[in-house]
Amino acid sequence: MTVTHYVSAPDTKDNELKALFENIQLIEKNKYLIIRTPEYYNINITGFGVFPLYVPSVKLHLGDMLILWEHTAWKQDDVYFYSMTGSPLSGSNSCRVWSEKKGFHHAESKTFRALLAPAYSVITTGCPNVDEKAPMAVTVQKKEPSKMTITELVEILKKEPLQSNWQLA
């Protein structure tokens, strides 16, 4: 007898993703402000996260994604990974990505663990660095999502000048 398990990410809200990626340069320009402001950091974008078999799913917020895009393989050239499903055992996976050239599309990552481990690390420690020799924690901390939407944040960022003194400590 064969048992087949499927896992899927929550359906995304296209208007949220469109607002984010149409303004990705503005968002990235203000990443330190976003990362240091909990109301901005915790903006929930439906479908952001890691949804693997066998281990807990991780919903990622805007600030988590900014950290992952800057420091890990979640961003490769102009390709932004934002959702991943699959098996950490076999490595078989499907990722939702966006790029300037192709827009929204699906891709497979040849380095599933290279995407999975930093996502868990960001959720549990706030840092994407992973000790490859240490066992990976799979306890997922719960965060309260912000009531602010990505569209509201974009409007704020367009009105307020960039605060260049915002940097990570």
pLDDT tens readout for residues 102-130 = 999 998 887 777 788 888 888 877 788 76
135 within domain boundaries? yes
Q: Is residue 1 part of a domain?
A: no
Tell me how many domains the chain contains. Answer: 1
- How far is Cα 98 from Cα 104, in angstroms, rounded to an integer? 4
Provide the 3-class DSSP secondary structure of residue 102: coil
How many Å apart are CA 11 and CA 24, to the nearest integer? 21
- Determine which helix (DSSP H) or strand (DSSP E) holds 73, and give its type and residue range: none
Residue 136 lies in a domain: yes
Residue 122: half-sphere exposure toward Cβ, Cα within 13 Å: 28
Please choose, from the candidates 74, 60, 110, the residue with its C-alpha nearest in 3D space to the C-alpha of residue 90.
110
pLDDT digits over 15-73, tens only? 899 999 999 999 999 999 999 999 999 999 988 999 988 888 889 999 999 999 999 99
3-state helix, strand, coil in the chain (%, to 5): 35, 20, 45
57 lies in which domain range? Answer: 14-153
Is residue 32 assigned to a domain? yes
Enter the pTM of the model: 0.81
